[in-house]
């Protein structure tokens, strides 16, 4: 059995649940430790009785040091700060042999255990952004992406995790400063700083808006295959990172500023959006105190601004892409 952990609050609840269900569907023996970053999120998650999850509240997790740090960082910066801490808490509190951190806006299409098994005797797994040339933000945002990271409960693995936790506690802000950016730029030199780090090789892990331009996608019997346009190498799609997707109204969903092919829109985004909308409806039968549980807002002004686009989907990187369910 592989163990995973994630964190999110009620504004990311549909994404977190979508990730959880996709993970368990593709890896039925997996277990996910969910750190609920507000009381509403914890309350709803506990009422859902997720059989493959353990719900951890802030009161169970936050240390006096983290509570002090929290005062000087934004909500997003605090989540970044806590990433190594939730991995460490999961490993130590539940005596895990290893734990893999997952961003809440990932969605799985096949079993991610093959990515973890790549590690062999190494103790830490990280993944590259694999930026396309046009969207290469590695100098500012980092070569590697904090999206899917595995740490084994070994001396070597915990040494790396403790080092990262200490750095994030010292400095973790949403700005580039002195070679640092959030929790992510710290990973840039891990392959030389430590001798126990494996960089994910399978291209089916870590497909994201900043690199999809280099792939084509095909669907066969419910699964997806991506093909690297340059090398011709084919891989089963394991997970996609739905970065920057934002709900702005009942009829407008912003997919981000990256250019998307029609194939990626129709094969991935439309289904994912439907999943989130369905989860939102389910959650509101438990608690209807919020208009939605996937963030964004119901600002009708968005529809007015983009009223000329509402009747169609645009696939031009210079435009803002919208989708009508």
What CATH number is given to the structural domain containing 128?
3.90.550.10
Are residues 264 and 167 part of one domain? Answer: no
For 143-175, give the DSSP string: SEEEEEEEEESSHHHHHHHHHHHHHHHH---SS
199, 225, 240: which is the final residue of a domain?
A: 199
Q: How far apart are CA 216 and CA 207, in angstroms?
A: 11
In a domain, 315, yes or no: no
Are residues 167 and 53 part of one domain? Answer: yes
Are residues 160 and 39 part of one domain? Answer: yes
In a domain, 267, yes or no: yes
Q: How many CB atoms lie within 10 A of CB 245?
A: 22
Q: Which domain holds residue 292?
A: 212-305
148, 175, 199: which is the final residue of a domain?
A: 199
φ and ψ at residue 106, rounded to 5 degrees: -85, 155
Q: Left if phi > 0, otherwise alpha if psi is -120 to 50, otherwise beta: which for 32?
A: beta
pLDDT at position 237:
98
Are residues 63 and 35 part of one domain? Answer: yes
Are residues 233 and 297 part of one domain? Answer: yes
Q: How far apart are CA 123 and CA 289, in angstroms?
A: 43
Are residues 153 and 29 part of one domain? Answer: yes
Are residues 133 and 110 part of one domain? Answer: yes
In a domain, 310, yes or no: no
Are residues 173 and 78 part of one domain? Answer: yes
Are residues 195 and 216 part of one domain? Answer: no
Side-chain half-sphere CA neighbours of 286 within 13 A: 18
Q: How many CB atoms lie within 10 A of CB 169?
A: 17
In a domain, 311, yes or no: no
In a domain, 187, yes or no: yes
Are residues 141 and 24 part of one domain? Answer: yes
pLDDT at position 325:
31
Segments in the chain below pLDDT 70: 249-251, 296-325
pLDDT at position 306:
37
Give SS3 for 235: strand
In a domain, 62, yes or no: yes
- Are 161 and 88 in contact by the 8 Å Cβ rule? The answer is yes
199, 223, 238: which is the final residue of a domain?
A: 199
Are residues 155 and 10 part of one domain? Answer: yes
In a domain, 204, yes or no: no
φ and ψ at residue 109, rounded to 5 degrees: -120, -10
Query: Number of structural domains, the chain?
Result: 2
Are residues 217 and 185 part of one domain? Answer: no
Distance of CA 159 to the CA centre of its chain: 24
pLDDT at position 250:
62
Distance of CA 273 to the CA centre of its chain: 15
In a domain, 75, yes or no: yes
């Amino acid at each position: 059995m592989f163990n995973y952990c994630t964190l999110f609050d009620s504004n990311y609840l549909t994404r977190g649940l979508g990730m959880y269900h996709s993970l368990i569907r593709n890896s039925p023996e997996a277990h996910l430790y969910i750190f609920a970053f507000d009381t509403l999120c914890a309350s709803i998650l506990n009422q859902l009785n997720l059989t493959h999850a353990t719900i951890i509240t802030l009161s169970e997790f936050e240390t006096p040091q983290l509570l002090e740090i929290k005062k000087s960082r934004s909500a997003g910066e605090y989540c970044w700060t806590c990433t190594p801490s939730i991995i460490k808490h999961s490993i130590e509190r539940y005596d895990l042999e290893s734990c893999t951190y997952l961003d809440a806006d990932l969605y799985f299409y096949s079993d991610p255990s093959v990515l973890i098994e790549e590690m062999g005797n190494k103790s830490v797994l990280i993944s590259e952004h694999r930026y396309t040339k046009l969207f290469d933000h590695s100098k500012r945002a980092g070569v590697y992406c904090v999206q899917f990271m595995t740490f084994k409960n070994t001396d070597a693995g915990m040494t790396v995790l403790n080092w990262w936790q200490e750095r994030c506690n010292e400095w973790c802000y949403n700005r580039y400063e002195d070679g640092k950016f959030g929790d992510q730029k710290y990973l840039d030199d891990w392959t030389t700083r430590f001798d126990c780090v494996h960089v994910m090789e399978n291209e089916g892990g870590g497909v994201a808006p900043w690199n999809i331009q280099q792939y084509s996608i095909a669907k066969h019997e419910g699964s997806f295959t991506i093909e690297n346009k340059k090398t011709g190498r084919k891989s089963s799609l394991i997970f996609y990172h739905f970065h920057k997707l934002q709900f702005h109204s009942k009829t407008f969903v912003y997919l981000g500023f990256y250019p998307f092919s029609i194939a990626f829109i129709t094969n991935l985004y439309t289904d994912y959006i439907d999943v989130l909308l369905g989860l939102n409806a389910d959650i509101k039968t438990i608690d209807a105190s919020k208009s939605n549980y996937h963030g964004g807002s119901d600002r009708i002004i968005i529809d007015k601004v983009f009223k000329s686009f509402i009747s169609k989907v645009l696939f031009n990187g210079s435009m803002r892409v919208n989708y009508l369910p």
